[in-house]
Structure 1
């Protein structure tokens, strides 16, 4: 993938729009594997479709309010797939413990970012927020996903 170096003429395809989505409602979950399933509350998927920039690099940022009913953890992450259908396509960045996490029984808002490279310039991808717990019941609220083109 070409870098956008000083003096490079920047074209529209070099910096496609930033994509973002939010899910304000609170929900509970008990799955110990990353999922989009809730056990109670008002779950809404937080997901975006984006176009890879000329560099083939984007930065995703996931944040949310997290709490666990006991000493277990509540975790969020981002999964990126090819294509424009949310949750479909070939996985290019799998769910893993790279997103925000909180261990404890009081709400904390946190977020993390990850640089993802190796995307095909101009191709369409979809990204969504997934959640899990290490034990107990996790509560999740105010989730946000931002995908930004990177130089």
Structure 2
């Protein structure tokens, strides 16, 4: 995948639009595996469809308000798959403990960003937010996902 160096003519595919989604509703969950399932509250999927830029690199940024009823953790992450159907297609980046997390019984808002490389330029991908706990019940709110092209 080519880098966009100084003097390079920039084409539309080089910088496709940044995509973002938010989920303002709050919900509780008890799964210790990454999931989209809620046990209580109003769960709404936070997901985007995006096109990989010429460089094959994007940055996803994920934030949310997290709390746990015990001393366990509440964690969110981003899963990326090929194709335009949310939650379907071959997994490009699986769910893992690389997103925001919070251990404790008071709400905290946190966020993180991650560079994803090796995407096929011009191909369509989908990214969605997944959540889990290490123990107890986690509460999740105000989740936001942004996927932007990188040079």
Q: Note the alpha carbon deviations across 1:24-60, whole angstroms, 9 max, x for none.
A: 0000000000000000000000000000000000000
User: Distance in 2 between the 1:90 and 1:59 partners?
Assistant: 19
User: Distance in 2 between the 1:147 and 1:59 partners?
Assistant: 6
3-state SS in 2 of match to 1:127: strand
TM-score of the superposed pair, with normalisation by structure 1: 1.00
TM-score of the superposed pair, with normalisation by structure 2: 1.00
Q: Note the alpha carbon deviations across 1:86-124, whole angstroms, 9 max, x for none.
A: 000000000000000000000000000000000000000
Answering whether residue 139 of structure 2 is matched by residue 139 of structure 1, we say yes
User: Distance in 2 between the 1:118 and 1:110 partners?
Assistant: 27
Q: CA deviation at 1:66?
A: 0.1
3-state SS in 2 of match to 1:79: strand
Corresponding residue number in structure 2 for 1:61: 61
Answering whether residue 129 of structure 2 is matched by residue 129 of structure 1, we say yes
* Alignment RMSD (CA, Å): 0.3
Corresponding residue number in structure 2 for 1:118: 118
User: Distance in 1 between the 2:137 and 2:6 partners?
Assistant: 50
User: Distance in 1 between the 2:104 and 2:22 partners?
Assistant: 24
User: Distance in 2 between the 1:93 and 1:112 partners?
Assistant: 16
User: Distance in 2 between the 1:79 and 1:45 partners?
Assistant: 12
Number of residues paired by the alignment?
A: 151
Corresponding residue number in structure 2 for 1:12: 12
Corresponding residue number in structure 2 for 1:52: 52
User: Distance in 2 between the 1:65 and 1:123 partners?
Assistant: 32
Corresponding residue number in structure 2 for 1:77: 77
> Following TM superposition, where does structure 1 have runs of at least 4 consecutive aligned residues deviating by more than 6 angstroms?
none
Corresponding residue number in structure 1 for 2:87: 87
User: Distance in 2 between the 1:93 and 1:61 partners?
Assistant: 14
Structure 1 unpaired stretches of 5+: none
